Amino acid sequence: MLELVTALFIVAHRGASADAPENTIPAFELAWEQKADAIEGDFHLTKDGHIVCIHDYDTKRVSGEKHIVAETTLETLRTLDVGSWKSPKFAGTHIPTIDEVFETVPEGKTIYIEVKCGPEIVPALTKELEETTLKPSQIVVISFNEDFVRVWKNEHPHCPTMLLLAFDARRPQLKPSVNEVLSRLQACNADGLSSSEHVAVTPEVVDKIKDAGYQYHSWTIDETRRAVRSLNAGSQSITTNKPAQLRKELEAKMEQSPRG
């Protein structure tokens, strides 16, 4: 039973990626149609200094052609079809630039910018955020790269920035431990942690993170049972490939919960 949460914050992982090709404009537009509160996209720096939305370090998986993003110009990357692998109806879909993704974000909604490279992206990302019409409150930066987080927060202390971390699912206990996590958050000056789901992420663990002054978020969860567990542990958002379905099922659970 979902008892502890009265409001849901659903983040569409790479857009509505269960139904549309990940990290593309169709996926992000569909996420908004599916009533996501936020979208999450992955961003790399191209050879000629542009920021593009793609998860992998090369384009092979989503286009069939292998180009290393950091060694390829925007012009070349834009020639690739990154929609056909999902469905013929998405044929001709291109890799979007970060400003094109920004343009999909409605007023009052949020974008989670996952930086997939290192501090080298900071000048270009700074310029993009200076030029976007989005409000600062609509932007959250996230990354596994602790060097990037440290440099970014040093230059942008007021930009909400989360450190991403994948707990070792093969172990029953948390690895790294919660104390190690807190040390990492402090070292890179992150505002919070966004982690993979783990059975050992209990309310006590999340309370310890929050009591130390950090946020806690969880990813990537498509099953209602698992989402309920994370929310009841205290997660402030759920990132999912299925925003519409998960919201519908979680809201139904909330309606079934006893009222105090």
Angle in degrees, CA 57, 146, 168, rounded to 5: 80
pLDDT of 7 reads 74
pLDDT of 156 reads 98
Domains of the chain as residue ranges with CATH: 10-256 (3.20.20.190)
Question: If pLDDT is split at 50, 70 and 90, which confidence band does 258 have?
Answer: low
Give the Å distances, CA to CA, from 70 to 102, 112, 113, 178: 21, 21, 18, 34
pLDDT tens column, 199-216:
999 999 999 999 999 999
The arithmetic mean of pLDDT across residues 89-111, rounded, is 98
Q: Are 239 and 15 in contact (CB under 8 A)?
A: no
Express as a percent the part of the chain with pLDDT over 90. 94
* Range of weakest confidence among 2-6, 193-197, 217-221, 244-248: 2-6
pLDDT of 260 reads 46
pLDDT of 28 reads 99
pLDDT tens column, 37-50:
999 999 999 999 99
- Give the mean pLDDT of the chain: 96
Distance CA 137, CA 158 (A): 10
The arithmetic mean of pLDDT across residues 98-104, rounded, is 98
pLDDT of 139 reads 98
pLDDT tens column, 49-74:
999 999 999 999 999 999 999 999 99
Find all residues with CB under 8 Å of 86, minimum gap 6, and list them: 20, 21, 22
Question: If pLDDT is split at 50, 70 and 90, which confidence band does 251 have?
Answer: very high
Q: Are 172 and 150 in contact (CB under 8 A)?
A: no
pLDDT tens column, 172-189:
999 999 999 999 999 999
Has residue 76 got a pLDDT over 50?
yes
The arithmetic mean of pLDDT across residues 116-145, rounded, is 98
The arithmetic mean of pLDDT across residues 5-29, rounded, is 93
Has residue 118 got a pLDDT over 70?
yes
- Written as one string, the DSSP assignment of 82-123 is -STTT-GGGTT--PPBHHHHHTTPPTT-EEEEEE-S-GGGHH
pLDDT of 1 reads 54
Distance CA 217, CA 114 (A): 14
Q: Are 126 and 157 in contact (CB under 8 A)?
A: no
Q: Are 93 and 21 in contact (CB under 8 A)?
A: yes
Has residue 218 got a pLDDT over 90?
yes
Find all residues with CB under 8 Å of 210, minimum gap 6, and list them: 216, 234
Question: If pLDDT is split at 50, 70 and 90, which confidence band does 190 have?
Answer: very high
